């Protein structure tokens, strides 16, 4: 298992290019199952999660070919049964269920478990499939869905914490090949959902309203192959912006979509960080002291839960009291106890982290628990005095493409070591 060794205290300077979005790429790769023609997807980030999704597609019978960041998927023939162990290992793989149901009218996919960021139910996905006329059973650890015919319907996907991103994508993908019109109310508005809808339309589907809470899908008989460019990863961009701010740096973030980052940029501003937009570039600069701020995570266009841990690390550096409230995954605070090892003073009170910020951080060995918690620890390590060792960075490799190389290019002293190595 690899670790990162970081010698902190170096302000990040220079420019960094953002990769394609992981959470757009995963359901778009799954959507390629909806056609027997080849699909060419550009800007697929090279991550363990995307490689893993490609393996799942192969196990279903699709051919996949990588050429750099272009992935061609040809699902000439598809099986409806995904390998239990393969699917169980990545929660995002639930998004193969919608395309399998749409194309084959049946899907058997292992039930994704909970994970370290909290319970991860899929009741809304299943409710959507049932509304389309599928019979859905959860049995022997599998979700088994089948339908003689899929029929368009009006359905409501709102849940306890808002809508569901992958649930919305799943229902859209199944409905693309259903008979008649499906109206998804309380649909997730995330840019990743818009990107999936764009890909479906490029394949010949008829989806409108994506990006709003009401999505209309008019079913078509058949979808064809298509080419698609994945949107930039807004969470990777947010992570680099926050890292620049935390180190008092000056970083130009290229290939970003500032319009997807409004809530993050607004909070950075509030925290005393200067952000300038130049087309697809963001220039993030912090010269003065950080200011305390309050942040609440919400579904899009609110502050993203996937940038909460990173923002918590930043606010630990801001003198004063900041409150970070998590409304999407309420127990997503695994990074807090590790940040404490670096000297951060943070207490958890229900869904909120109360941060008494401004204490100097000093390097320590810490353990990554999930993808975004790991990013928070890297940010804190970059800002801390001395050496931080972030263990178990396979979590980071799931969702950040070459993070260490990108940070090194910005001047960070960071290197990857095998655990046997003492560094």
Residues noted as catalytic: 115
Counting contacts by CB under 6 A, is residue 240 touching ligand EPU? no
Nearest to 112 by CA among 129, 90, 139: 90
Work out how close the CB of 120 gets to ligand EPU at its nearest, in angstroms, rounded to a whole number. 6
- In this complex, which beta carbon is closest to ligand EPU, that of residue 10 or of residue 166? 166
**Window of 148-156, 162-170, 251-259, 407-415 that interacts with ligand EPU by CB under 6 A:** 162-170
Under rule CB under 6 A, which residues in 17-36 are in contact with ligand EPU? 23, 26
**Integer angstrom CA distances of residue 60 from 8, 74, 172, 374:** 45, 11, 20, 32
Work out how close the CB of 352 gets to ligand EPU at its nearest, in angstroms, rounded to a whole number. 16
Counting contacts by CB under 6 A, is residue 284 touching ligand EPU? no
Counting contacts by CB under 6 A, is residue 98 touching ligand EPU? no
Please confirm whether the linkage preceding 301 is cis (ω < 30° from 0): yes
Question: Applying CB under 6 A, which of residues 159, 272, 320, 365 lies at the interface with ligand EPU?
Answer: 159
Counting contacts by CB under 6 A, is residue 308 touching ligand EPU? no
316 close to 355: Cβ distance less than 8 angstroms: yes
- In this complex, which beta carbon is closest to ligand EPU, that of residue 5 or of residue 30? 30
360 close to 331: Cβ distance less than 8 angstroms: no
Which string of x and - marks every residue 179-218 that binds ligand EPU (by CB under 6 A)? ---------x------------------------------
Question: Applying CB under 6 A, which of residues 80, 167, 249, 363 lies at the interface with ligand EPU?
Answer: 167
**Integer angstrom CA distances of residue 229 from 16, 25, 88:** 19, 9, 28
- In this complex, which beta carbon is closest to ligand EPU, that of residue 62 or of residue 124? 124
- In this complex, which beta carbon is closest to ligand EPU, that of residue 286 or of residue 395? 395
Residue 67 sits at φ, ψ, to 5 deg, of -130, 95
197 close to 189: Cβ distance less than 8 angstroms: no
**Window of 158-166, 253-261, 339-347, 402-410 that interacts with ligand EPU by CB under 6 A:** 158-166
- In this complex, which beta carbon is closest to ligand EPU, that of residue 274 or of residue 301? 301
Counting contacts by CB under 6 A, is residue 233 touching ligand EPU? no
Alpha helices in 176-296 (DSSP H): 191-202, 234-246, 262-270
Kindly provide the b/e burial profile for residues 395-421, where b requires at least 16 CB atoms within 10 angstroms of the residue's own CB.
bbbbbbbebbebbeebebebebeeeee
Residues 6+ apart with CB under 8 A from 139: none
Question: Applying CB under 6 A, which of residues 195, 306, 326, 397 lies at the interface with ligand EPU?
Answer: 306
Residue position matching structure tokens 């849940």 = 159
- In this complex, which beta carbon is closest to ligand EPU, that of residue 180 or of residue 351? 351
215 close to 227: Cβ distance less than 8 angstroms: no
281-285 and 250-254 strand pairing: antiparallel
365-367 and 352-357 strand pairing: unpaired
Counting contacts by CB under 6 A, is residue 166 touching ligand EPU? yes
Work out how close the CB of 418 gets to ligand EPU at its nearest, in angstroms, rounded to a whole number. 25
Counting contacts by CB under 6 A, is residue 125 touching ligand EPU? yes
Nearest to 221 by CA among 179, 256, 186, 281: 179
**Window of 62-70, 115-123, 197-205, 347-355 that interacts with ligand EPU by CB under 6 A:** 115-123
Question: Applying CB under 6 A, which of residues 85, 160, 221, 420 lies at the interface with ligand EPU?
Answer: 160
65 close to 75: Cβ distance less than 8 angstroms: no
Under rule CB under 6 A, which residues in 386-405 are in contact with ligand EPU? 399
**Window of 98-106, 123-131, 236-244, 314-322 that interacts with ligand EPU by CB under 6 A:** 123-131
Distance CA 336, CA 320 (A): 17
- In this complex, which beta carbon is closest to ligand EPU, that of residue 272 or of residue 302? 302
Give the dihedral sign, CA 52/53/56/58: negative
- In this complex, which beta carbon is closest to ligand EPU, that of residue 125 or of residue 267? 125
Work out how close the CB of 382 gets to ligand EPU at its nearest, in angstroms, rounded to a whole number. 20
Work out how close the CB of 249 gets to ligand EPU at its nearest, in angstroms, rounded to a whole number. 24
Question: Residue 40 in 3-state DSSP?
Answer: strand
Counting contacts by CB under 6 A, is residue 61 touching ligand EPU? no
Nearest to 258 by CA among 250, 268, 248, 247: 268
Count the site residues for ligand EPU by CB under 6 A: 25
| Site residues (vs ligand EPU, CB under 6 A) | 23, 26, 92, 119-125, 159-161, 164-167, 188, 305-306, 328-329, 371-372, 399
């Amino acid at each position: 298992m690899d670790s990162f060794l970081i010698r902190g205290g170096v302000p990040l300077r220079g420019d960094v290019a953002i990769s394609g979005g992981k959470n757009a790429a995963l359901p778009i790769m799954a959507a390629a199952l909806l056609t027997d023609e080849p699909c060419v997807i550009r800007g697929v980030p090279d991550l363990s999660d995307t490689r893993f999704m490609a393996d799942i597609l192969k196990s279903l019978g699709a051919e996949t070919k990588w050429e750099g960041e272009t992935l061609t998927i040809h699902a000439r023939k598809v099986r409806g049964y995904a390998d239990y162990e393969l699917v169980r290992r990545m929660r995002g793989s639930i998004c193969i269920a919608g395309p399998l149901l749409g194309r084959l009218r049946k899907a058997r996919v292992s039930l994704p478990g909970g994970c370290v960021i909290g319970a991860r139910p899929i009741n809304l996905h299943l409710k959507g499939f049932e509304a389309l006329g599928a019979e859905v059973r959860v049995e022997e650890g599998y979700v088994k869905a089948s339908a003689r015919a899929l029929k368009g319907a009006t359905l409501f996907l709102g849940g306890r914490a808002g809508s569901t991103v992958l649930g919305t994508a799943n229902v859209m993908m199944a409905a693309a090949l259903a008979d008649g019109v499906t109206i998804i109310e309380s649909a997730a508005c995330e840019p990743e959902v818009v990107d999936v809808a764009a890909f479906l339309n490029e394949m010949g589907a008829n989806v409108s309203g994506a990006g709003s809470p009401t999505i209309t899908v008019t079913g078509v008989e058949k979808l064809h192959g298509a080419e698609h460019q994945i949107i930039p990863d807004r969470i990777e961009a947010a992570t680099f912006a926050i890292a620049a701010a935390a180190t008092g740096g000056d970083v130009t973030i290229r290939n970003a979509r500032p319009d997807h980052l409004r809530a993050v940029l607004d909070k950075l501003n509030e925290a005393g960080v200067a952000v300038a937009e130049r087309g697809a570039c963001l220039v993030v600069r912090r010269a003065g002291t950080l200011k305390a701020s309050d942040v609440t995570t919400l579904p899009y266009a609110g502050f993203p839960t996937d940038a909460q841990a990173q923002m918590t690390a930043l606010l630990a550096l801001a003198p004063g009291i900041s409150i970070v409230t998590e409304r999407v995954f309420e127990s997503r605070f695994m990074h807090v106890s590790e940040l404490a090892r670096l000297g951060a003073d943070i207490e958890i009170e229900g869904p909120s982290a109360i941060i008494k910020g401004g204490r100097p951080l000093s390097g320590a060995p810490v353990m990554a628990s999930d993808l975004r918690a790991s990013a928070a620890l890297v940010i804190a390590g970059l800002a801390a005095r001395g050496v931080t060792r972030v263990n178990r960075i396979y979590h980071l490799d799931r969702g950040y493409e070459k993070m260490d190389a990108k940070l090194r290019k910005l001047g960070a002293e960071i290197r990857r070591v095998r655990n046997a190595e003492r560094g």
